[in-house]
Structure formats: C-alpha cells, structure tokens
Amino acid sequence: MQENQTTANTQEKKEMAARIWLSYYNRVLYEKGIITEQQRNRMEVTINSWKLPAHML
C-alpha cells in the first residue's frame, strides 16, 4: 500500500513540474509576441488538463 502511494506522489510531482515548465514557456512565448493572447489562453487550458504519459513514469 505504501509503495502505491509513493508512486502516486512521485507521478503527481512529475506532472506538476512538467506543468510549471510548460506554463513558463507558454508565458515567455506570449511575452515575446510569438503567440497571441488567445493562443496563450488555449494552451493554458491544455496544460492544466495535461497528464504525464505512462511511458514517462
């Protein structure tokens, strides 16, 4: 039981770290004028619902 919880916590941490980086790059692209506000907002929704692929765990 403890091992399953540890694995779940590790997965959550990896997903959170990935979302933070994706959000950072999304913001940088917007600030540099590479993407529009609408594109930034759509990508933010996508990033927030993103899950780490199983093969990356």
Its pTM stands at 0.76
At 56 the pLDDT is 64
Domain extents in the chain: 2-49
Per-residue model confidence as pLDDT tens digits over 3-36: 667 777 888 898 999 999 999 999 999 999 999 9
At 2 the pLDDT is 65
d(CA 55, CA 57): 6
Q: In this structure, are residues 30 and 40 in contact, taking their beta carbons and an 8 Å threshold?
A: yes
Helix (H) or strand (E) holding 41: helix 37-49
Per-residue model confidence as pLDDT tens digits over 46-55: 999 988 777 6
At 21 the pLDDT is 97
A 10 A CB-CB count for 26 gives 19
**DSSP state, 50?**
-
At 47 the pLDDT is 95
